Amino acid sequence: MPKDKIVIVDDDDFMRDSLMEALDRPGYDLRGFARAKDAVEELADGSASLLLTDLRMPEMDGMELLREVRRLDPRLPVVMMTAFATVETAVQAMKEGAFDYVMKPFKAEEIDVAAERALRHRKLLAENEFLKSELARKFRPGDFVGKSGAMKKVFEEIRQAAPSSATVFIRGESGVGKELVARSIHAQSPRRDKPLVKVNCAALSAGVLESELFGHERGAFTGADKRRIGRFEMADGGTLFLDEVSEMDLALQGKLLRVLQEKEFERVGSSETLSVDVRILASSNRDLEKAIAAGSFREDLYYRLNVIAVELPPLRDRREDIPDLARHFLARYREDEGSRVREISEDALGMLERYNWPGNVRELANVMERLVVLGRSERIEVRQVENALPKSALRAAAAGEGAAPGAFEPRPLEDVEREYVLKTLAHFGGARAKSADSLEISERSLRDRIKRWQEAGKFPEA
């Protein structure tokens, strides 16, 4: 593990040596200088983690050094030291960008604590920048690939919706990219520097989901051994994405409606009313109009959520986007995995285009990842695609046609079962317990089937 380089500048030899001795520990790389000008050379390459500098020095004083450091490395924390402390100099140093200000004489423990605080601050800044860059790399709007008319319409709807605070309802089958739409809207909104918090409503029971959304107090229920902050509080000032909101039970829908109307709520087990400023994005793979007619979804909540609607088409309805998507995923996974695969043949792309993709873009991404990881040559050919797709897709590809809606095609029973399981999982947002219950099999039996199909390369990875 690399050491933290700490640059110490003080024209007093005794003080400089004392600081070097106080901070002498295995995790620090200490560099001492009597002149600020000499320290600038050490700081120029940006490898320092912390600067400790005296304020009053000949030739170049601490304030001048601070200004030079701000130019060289704006993130470098600087701790100023002086025996001539005044309120004015302290205020001036902080205005100029100093992280901390220590008055001489000080104890060794004081300078040690100041150094630890400054180094911790720098590490947090670095981690924050890394996470932001990773988020931007993984979910930048450019990752939305598509030149079809349907996707151009989606892009325009995102562009128009993003700057507002209006609630957006994102509709589409499982795997079409609803979460990517939510991330894109947040990334282009005025709230982009605040949190984007996601809740999968299909994956949690009603009681657990209520606690996840609103938080709970200690002792609110069995197992609540401490206070928990809910997702609404976490998202304050930012965006909350309610994925598969159609799976929320009616009682909880009423509480959600109140938050949307009043922007306030209570934690479970508390009577204290909390206020939040949160933008809501919601999604569903179900027809909510039918759910309203069936009495399983509140009509008033639907209208609150459906202020702006974005409809994502299934991949089978925009086949012209499949080649670009396939190349996009090939490039992404090649970079991630360091694979030798560089391209995909036109015949292989044609086979991908003819497949119906019941799992949509998510399934295509999984297939391309498998092809890239297992690829032994620079080019993906038809044979590799044949091994990655279900046998029913191969027959359609061999015939040069896609699966016609309503047409009968004799198929192995296991292929039919596998496709039905995949569609059931998609309907319930990937929730295996609900899917198993609907299929009238045990969750263990469902898990065993999925594992067997995945090992055979015939089922998309979770």
Structural domain spans, the chain: 4-135, 151-313, 316-409, 412-462
User: Which residues lie closer than 8 Å to 56 by C-beta, 6 or more apart?
Assistant: 62, 82, 83, 84
**What band does 394 get if pLDDT is binned at 50, 70 and 90?**
low
Reported as a pLDDT band with limits 50, 70 and 90, residue 235 is: very high
Tokens of 462: 């979770």
Per-residue pLDDT at 405 = 40
CATH number for the domain whose boundaries are 316-409: 1.10.8.60
Number of alpha carbons in the 13 Å side-chain half-sphere of residue 377: 8
pLDDT of residue 171 exceeding 90, the answer is yes
Q: Whole-angstrom distance between the N-terminal and C-terminal Cα of the chain?
A: 34
What average pLDDT does the chain have?
85
- Do the first three CATH levels of 151-313 and 316-409 match, i.e. the same topology? no
Residue 403 has pLDDT above 80, yes or no: no
Rounded to an integer, the average pLDDT of 45-58 is 88
d(CA 446, CA 426): 14
Percent of the chain with pLDDT over 90: 44
Name the CATH superfamily, with its identifier, for domain 151-313.
P-loop containing nucleotide triphosphate hydrolases (3.40.50.300)
pLDDT exceeds 70 at position 135: no
Instruction: Indicate whether 406 pLDDT > 60.
Output: no
Comparing CA positions, the residue from 63, 6, 4, 8 lying closest to residue 34 is: 8
Among 113-122, 222-231, 403-412, top mean pLDDT goes to 113-122
- Here the tokens at position 175 are 């795997």
Q: What mean pLDDT is predicted for residues 25-36? A: 91
Which CATH number applies to 4-135?
Answer: 3.40.50.2300
- Confidence at 410, pLDDT banded by 50, 70, 90: low
455 or 22, higher pLDDT:
22
| Cα dihedral 201→203→208→212 (10° resolution) | -50
- Residue 397 pLDDT greater than 50, yes or no: no
pLDDT band at 459 (very low <50, low <70, confident <90, very high): confident
Is pLDDT above 80 for 341? yes
Max mean pLDDT among 133-137, 277-281, 384-388, 429-433 falls in: 277-281
Looking at residue 224, what is its pLDDT? 78
- At residue 80, what are phi and psi to the nearest 5 degrees? -90, 145
412-462: CATH topology: Arc Repressor Mutant, subunit A (1.10.10)
Half-sphere exposure of 386 (CA within 13 A, CB side): 8
List Cβ<8 Å contacts ≥24 apart for 196-199: 196/235, 196/238, 196/239, 196/241, 197/231, 197/234, 197/235, 197/238, 197/239, 197/240, 197/241, 198/240, 198/241, 198/243, 199/231, 199/240, 199/241, 199/242, 199/243
pLDDT beyond 90 at 106: no
Instruction: Compute the average pLDDT of residues 73-100.
Output: 79
pLDDT greater than 90 at residue 293: yes
The yes-or-no verdict on residue 65 having pLDDT over 80 is yes
How sure is the predictor about 442, in pLDDT bands with cuts at 50, 70 and 90? confident
Per-residue pLDDT at 81: 87
